[in-house]
Structure 1
């Protein structure tokens, strides 16, 4: 028996999220079907966490145990030949049997993308939320700073959250503005990428943070109101849940150097 750790990128547009759901059509289902087609094994993979319907990933990780003797360097090509083009396994390595993707994921980074130009980009409609009005990006950056640290993020969690604790740590958060595809026009503000790195995230947490920051950018809230919402520990104190397609699981950092099996 071997425990294999893999990294996967996917476009979540056509899927009901990563994790297996009763109505099917999830990224996990498709990967497990590809493994079955390759090895004949019916198994369940373990990911670092779930992503919601329509959310994408650049650096999701998962692991599973297999008796197949396929060398690690051949797994990516073998699986990708059986996966649809919107799911791509980019790395595979053998780890010790006690490795667990969720437990060893110590830091995760999400990126949320807003197209703040006047017109949407037809080539990135799946990956950007297009905002039709002007945004005060500086105010949004100021509001974002209030979320750094270790806090109870109940205000920024779905009301359906079943986690026993809503305390999480946000280590870093910042915005980058890309104007490379903007016109030389006062209405074009560029594409705004927001990166948030934390110990873990609650259901809809990043999307609610972004919905709140968008209201700050629209002038409907002050930057200080983000801290007020945080302290309230009440979902009603925060803004709406931003649309899913602007969100991407950007990276997962592991505390797992001792688990890697060198071959």
Structure 2
């Protein structure tokens, strides 16, 4: 039997999942997709492999998975079948048939995450699962300067969960930026790099908000990079504001992402329109 390898880009609402990776007693994204594939194969178990795990409550717009399937189905038919069999919390955005040496996790060259902050004074019940409510003052200049200190190649031990093991904690962050969604009164952080440690983005956000609030000095990121101690950094921000946006398989794509520049242009255009309307 010749098995066919499929690559998929999947988005999901992580609110009611215990993360991506399959677990014995809890609902997960991997478990739901494998359940659908087992129906399609009439009982043959198909194991999917993701580009990485996302925690309970974390969302994805561009998670990448691969799996081997026991017979050929056109990519579009595979997409339709899975979207009809999985819960509405999961949507398969793209399907392609790839060479058998492709691996969703081991072939990655980088990832992009975003984290959304709701700045409104009153918490919006319709945002509570998709943003972190933070109705406190934000010094944007301090925030933007602190983000610049994150960029580059560093040992990020201070920004990694204490229980993550002894792995090498040196990573390169190509982009650490923030824009303000003036219509929704939200901050949108973007982090793009060649790899991320466990809880790294959420610890970034928890620390950056304290800098923006004045609870930590403006140059705190530099100190934390030097001390390499998780206990010195800020809290781990809640999972619901975090989104895995894209997974890269070419180093050039990870280093330079055109979406960032487009986002800045859109934000500036919106701000200019608002300024003109006030005048």
Q: Please give the TM-score of this superposition, normalised by the length of structure 1.
A: 0.91
**Offset of 1:236 from its aligned partner?**
1.1
Asked whether 1:241 is paired with 2:236, we answer yes
Q: Which has the higher helix share?
A: 2
Within 2, Cα distance between the matches of 1:152 and 1:82? 43
1:93 — aligned with what?
96
1:226 — aligned with what?
221
Range with greater deviation from structure 2 (225-234 or 134-143): 134-143
Within 1, Cα distance between the matches of 2:16 and 2:31? 13
Q: Structure 1, residues 58-105: CA drift from partner, whole Å, max 9, x if none?
A: 000000111122111111110011111111111100000010011222
1:65 — aligned with what?
68
Q: How do residues 129-168 of structure 1 correspond to structure 2 at under 5 angstroms?
A: 129-168=132-171
Within 1, Cα distance between the matches of 2:139 and 2:41? 53
Aligned residue for 1:105, secondary structure, equals coil
Within 2, Cα distance between the matches of 1:145 and 1:125? 29
1:4 — aligned with what?
6
| Higher RCO (CA-CA < 8 Å; seq separation 6+) | 1
Alpha carbons of structure 1 residues 21 and 163: separation in structure 2 relative to 1, 3 Å:
farther
Aligned residues: 248
Runs of 5+ consecutive residues of structure 1 not aligned to the other structure:
182-189, 257-263
Within 1, Cα distance between the matches of 2:35 and 2:80? 15
Within 1, Cα distance between the matches of 2:122 and 2:57? 22
Q: Please give the TM-score of this superposition, normalised by the length of structure 2.
A: 0.86
Within 1, Cα distance between the matches of 2:166 and 2:107? 18
Aligned residue for 1:249, secondary structure, equals strand
Within 2, Cα distance between the matches of 1:127 and 1:216? 23
Asked whether 1:30 is paired with 2:32, we answer yes
Within 1, Cα distance between the matches of 2:125 and 2:26? 29
User: CA RMSD, aligned part only?
Assistant: 1.3
Runs of 5+ consecutive residues of structure 2 not aligned to the other structure:
252-279
1:200 — aligned with what?
195
2:266 — aligned with what?
none
**Offset of 1:119 from its aligned partner?**
2.0
